[in-house]
Amino acid sequence: MSDSQPLETSSRIYQYSIISAFMDGQTLHGIPLKDLGKHGDFGLGSFQLADGEMILVDGTAYRMSYDGSITVAEPSTCLPYAMVTFYTPTVTVAVAGMLKPNFQKHIEDITPTAKNYFLAIRFDGVFKKMRFRIAKGQDVPGANVMKTITKTQRVIDMEDVEGTMIGFRSPGCYQGITVAGYHLHFIKKDRTTGGHCLDFEIQKGITGISIIRQIDIELPDSDDFCEADLTLDNEGIVKAE
Ligand SMILES: [Zn+2]
């Protein structure tokens, strides 16, 4: 890595479970939030029965619920899937007037040596448009999340909204373990709503990036996990995420 390139940090990603298990319906058991917090102050995840979306911002985990409301998650809350890190950006840039694909291309352009590493990404600023979804939660524990999430999710569109977007970019070969490519969650600045980003247009703001070379994955200690069908469904993950 040359001197002109942003250096990777000593941070590591901690991930609980894998997205293939979550999508197969392994949503009943999880890591308590108080334990997850030992591994990071920044990240995203889901709740028991895939009920809502989780965003971890500056050490506070929020549950963004299907009805559009937000609560600070209780320390005892279980998360069946989560990806967190202690966020230490090595690159911070101002960005303006970018559609989602342009934003992603811009991130690739300013981290040219990092395409095979993980990136933790944070954006704070104003979105001209933000489309996000909130998972409804399962009626039947253990049912396949992949098959139901896009049918039951609530999609919310906002315009001229200020907030924070947090997430990760994972190399393509990690599909099924995590979500390959970009996985980003959004929370409104006043903390009144948010969810899993589907599409957006940035008006202006600041982006921070941390290049990460270390990932620690903890697999659930449950009978359900042992019986999960972990066959990779690339098409399903792309559709659901
Ligand atoms: Zn998500």
In this predicted model, what pLDDT tens digit does every residue of 38-88 receive, in sequence order? Answer: 999 999 999 999 999 999 999 999 999 999 899 999 999 999 999 999 999
Q: What is the per-residue pLDDT for 107?
A: 97
Total residues found in the chain within this entry? 241
> Distance, CA 45 to ligand 1 centroid (Å)?
6
> Distance, CA 134 to ligand 1 centroid (Å)?
9
HSE-up of 111 (CA within 13 Å, CB side)?
28
Q: Coil, helix or strand for 22?
A: helix
Q: Give per-residue pLDDT as tens, 81-126.
A: 999 999 999 999 999 999 999 999 999 999 999 999 999 999 999 9
Domains of the chain are 13-240 (3.30.1330.80)
- Strand partners for 46: 53, 81
**Whether the predicted pLDDT of 11 surpasses 70:** yes
4 φ, ψ to 5°?
-80, -10
Cα→Cα distances 123→71, 112, 182, 209, Å: 21, 19, 13, 9
Q: What DSSP designation does 224 have? A: H
> Distance, CA 90 to ligand 1 centroid (Å)?
24
> Distance, CA 82 to ligand 1 centroid (Å)?
9
CA 175 vs. chain centroid, Å, equals: 14
Residue 9 pLDDT class (50, 70, 90 cuts): low
Residue 6 pLDDT class (50, 70, 90 cuts): low
**Whether the predicted pLDDT of 5 surpasses 60:** no
> Distance, CA 237 to ligand 1 centroid (Å)?
11
What is the residue-averaged pLDDT of the chain?
Answer: 92
Q: What is the per-residue pLDDT for 3?
A: 44
> Distance, CA 94 to ligand 1 centroid (Å)?
25
- Please spell the DSSP secondary structure of 41-87, one letter per residue: SEEEEE-GGGBSEEEEETTEEEEE-TTS-EEEPPTT-EESEEEEE--
> Distance, CA 3 to ligand 1 centroid (Å)?
34
